[in-house]
Amino acid sequence: MGSTQFPINSGFGAQTTAQQALDGADLSGEIAIVTGGASGLGLETTRALASAGATVIVTARAPDRVRQALEGIARVELAALDLLEPASIAAFAQSFVDSGRPLHILINNAGVMAAPLERDARGYETQFSANHLGHFRLAAQLLPSLLKADGARVVALSSRGHRYGGVDFDDANFERRAYDKWKAYGQSKSANALFAVELDRRGAAHGIRAFSVHPGRIIDTALARHLSNDELRAAGVLDEHDRVRADSGCKTVEQGAATTVWCAASPRLQGMGGVYCEDVDIARAVGADSTEDFGVRPWASDSEAAQRLWAISEALTGVPFRL
């Protein structure tokens, strides 16, 4: 059963860095996979986990282009993975499973934000496909390795962007409704949170616990590449001189990776899961009409919606994910 969606007074906060969130954790002998782990939040997550002793497999669509970013980080392996390509996901997952190694930590970090309408080869809208369906398929196909760990954690990067709306189960791929890049992003981030809810419900008895994470408002990553300066000014991030506003609430990358690392490694979360976390703590549940920047909305934490999403994800990917 999932944990209560209520802060546990972790002792950390919005300014905590990834290294601080580790709080001396020893991950020696553990193996982690971080999708998109060679840039932005993923790179800082990779650094932190490796510094605690973990072996980290970093995935990237074009490994040769990012190899240099990982130089000097111990116990890092680099592998090709394209979350929009089922064959690429299957090849990576099968290679890892065939290695016989357990998978202790899976960080579903890679993603796109507020992109113009594009579709993958199956016709699926790319934000929903890359952010949710690709990671759903990856976790399903890595299941033997997660089970082999005899105690694994899966962390899905959601966002406060989930407040833009839940999953439209009748038109998840914008085939009938008008495309809105923020609604599409919000849907994919709600899906990430619901994925953690249902994976934890199914996986807890098998030693697999899942969490979703809002890293914080961060613009110093490639995730914001689709946003213009006009949009960032309108959002209160940039001032009239296109400099980051002191009151914007933006985090550094080191602070942005903290909640991910905490969910992956903190002993405070032992025996817990199925919750949405932010600022290195479990977030509060808020109402659907909340105007707060923080907290998780009902459509991103509802167990029935999570089960419904699981069913359509199996149907859209054609991959059974049975626990």
Positions annotated as catalytic residues are: 185
Q: Are 146 and 138 in contact (CB under 8 A)?
A: no
The radius of gyration of the chain's CA atoms, rounded to the nearest angstrom, is 18
Q: Does residue 187 sit in helix, strand or coil?
A: helix
Any residues with CB less than 8 A from the CB of 11 and at least 6 apart, and which? none
Whose CA is closest to 293, among 164, 129, 152?
164
Q: What angle do CA 50, 211, 105 make, to 5 degrees?
A: 30
Length of the chain measured in residues: 323
Pairing of β 76-80 and β 105-108: unpaired
Whose CA is closest to 109, among 38, 23, 175, 177?
38
Half-sphere exposure of 279 (CA within 13 A, CB side): 18
Neighbours of 143 (CB within 10 A): 21
Which amino acid is located at 232 in the chain? L
CA atoms of 28 and 205, how far apart (whole Å): 25
CA atoms of 306 and 321, how far apart (whole Å): 14
Q: Are 138 and 318 in contact (CB under 8 A)?
A: no
